[in-house]
A and B are shown apart, each in its own frame.
Chain A
Amino acid sequence: DSGVTQTPKHLITATGQRVTLRCSPRSGDLSVYWYQQSLDQGLQFLIQYYNGEERAKGNILERFSAQQFPDLHSELNLSSLELGDSALYFCASSSQGDTQYFGPGTRLTVL
């Protein structure tokens, strides 16, 4: 158990819908990262937050957004969902940008 929690574990929704994925980092970790794992793209970095502020952006679509709250948990919002957004979404956390510990992931299926 890495200490990073993610909810929900599974999410099934329809095209055009909006969903929110939640992540709680390890106690004391200020950085939260979001990654997407899909069969065709592999593991791709989406976005990083540090202590509530956006720190880095990767291959994140404009339909996707994220935020980190004062209690350091983070949410990833995915809107206008398409079939191609079906993937495993991982959250990771670290303290001061070093070793990242990953959560169990949220499997999103868009029908």
Chain B
Amino acid sequence: GEDVEQSLFLSVREGDSSVINCTYTDSSSTYLYWYKQEPGAGLQLLTYIFSNMDMKQDQRLTVLLNKKDKHLSLRIADTQTGDSAIYFCAEKDGSGNTGKLIFGQGTTLQVKP
């Protein structure tokens, strides 16, 4: 079945780059997403990439997609303490005509001053 895997924890120093990785199994996924969840808050959409793209850049965020390896990464440049949060990778279910999202377990990003 569909599955999305992420590493659970990443710790970086303020000002460094952070790279959060994700693998997925559904090769028919059309869109892949990154969401951010701060403590006690909802899910904030950060960015997304269409499956026919290799890369997307949005200010400090860079998304790389390797469709052959079903690998997605999110790079945050110049990481700030305000970036500390849980980051979820999600794929849109490619089967049928639904918008169902399948989420990874989330990666907790800790940014040390």
Contacts and interface: CB of A to CB of B under 8 A. Distances in A.
Contact of B35 (A48, A98, A102): A102
B45 interface: yes
A101 B102 CA distance: 15
A2 B88 CA distance: 17
What's the interface size class on A, roughly? 20 to 34
A45 to B, nearest CB: 5
Contact of A100 (B41, B97, B101, B102): B101
Contacts, number: 60
B103 A101 contact: no
A45 B100 contact: yes
Given A33-B99, A97-B97, A99-B33, A104 B106 contact: no
Nearest to A94: B99
> What 4 pairs between A and B have smallest CB-CB spacing?
A56-B98, A43-B103, A97-B99, A102-B43
